[in-house]
């Protein structure tokens, strides 16, 4: 057997195996790889919507829904129980707020002293633009002042240049 024939057979085997592999997954053997769609009940959708808004008390900046901590799992159970009892979303949020305070909300509440969190970036941007505008205005005025009549040194340089001619 020649080297060229061996390479040809090896390449053909690889191609056949690749095609078989692709056909297996496209032809139905790969359906296990596709995620099955899960129909979520309205009650579970409410649980998820609330749990995404609330912070896990022991995790760093992670929602109850995303956290794997025991406390987060317990908090999810509380949410499920309260929804099962027919309580409103606002009442459930208030329940957690009463126990944990503002910290429990992933997004800061727009009330009281928290307004500075919302208005701070805008106020900072406005202060920066104002400072830049004043600085440019002063700079333009000072550079315009340099174009005033010649200073004593400039007059002396001119007189020396005329004397040298």
Q: Is the pTM of this model over 0.75?
A: no
What is the CATH number for 93?
Answer: 1.10.8.640
Contact 98, 47 (CB under 8 A): no
Residues 81, 124: one domain? no
Query: Which residues form the domain of 19?
Result: 3-28
Q: Report yes or no on 35 lying in a domain.
A: no
Number of domains in the chain: 3
Q: Report yes or no on 34 lying in a domain.
A: no
Q: For 53-72, write each residue's pLDDT tens digit.
A: 999 888 878 899 998 899 99
Q: Report yes or no on 64 lying in a domain.
A: yes
Q: Report yes or no on 33 lying in a domain.
A: no
Q: What is the mean pLDDT of residues 101-123?
A: 79
- Look at the alpha carbons of 10, 14, 19, 24 in this order and tell me if their dihedral is positive or negative: positive
pLDDT reported for residue 145? 62
Residues 53, 90: one domain? yes
Residues 49, 108: one domain? yes
CA distance readout (Å), 72 to 18, 29, 54:
46, 38, 10
Q: Report yes or no on 15 lying in a domain.
A: yes
Q: Report yes or no on 154 lying in a domain.
A: yes
Residue 85 has pLDDT above 50, yes or no: yes
Q: Report yes or no on 144 lying in a domain.
A: yes
Contact 36, 25 (CB under 8 A): no
Residues 60, 97: one domain? yes
Residues 23, 65: one domain? no
Give ∠ CA 35-40-41 in degrees, rounded to 5: 165
Give ∠ CA 82-93-57 in degrees, rounded to 5: 100
């Amino acid at each position: 057997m020649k080297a060229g024939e061996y390479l040809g057979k090896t390449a053909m085997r690889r191609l056949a195996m690749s095609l078989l592999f692709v056909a297996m997954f496209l032809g139905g053997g790969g359906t296990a790889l596709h995620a099955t769609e899960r129909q979520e009940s309205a009650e579970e959708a409410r649980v998820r919507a609330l749990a995404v808004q609330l912070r896990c008390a022991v995790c760093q900046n992670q929602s109850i829904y995303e956290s794997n901590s025991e406390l987060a799992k317990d908090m999810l159970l509380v949410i499920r129980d309260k929804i099962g009892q027919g309580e409103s979303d606002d009442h459930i949020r208030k329940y957690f707020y009463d126990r944990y305070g503002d910290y429990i909300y992933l997004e800061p509440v727009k009330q009281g002293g928290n307004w500075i969190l919302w208005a701070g970036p805008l106020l900072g941007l406005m202060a920066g633009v104002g400072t830049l505008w004043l600085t440019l205005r002063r700079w333009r005025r000072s550079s315009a002042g340099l174009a005033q009549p010649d200073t004593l040194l400039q007059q002396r340089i001119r007189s020396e240049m005329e004397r040298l001619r």
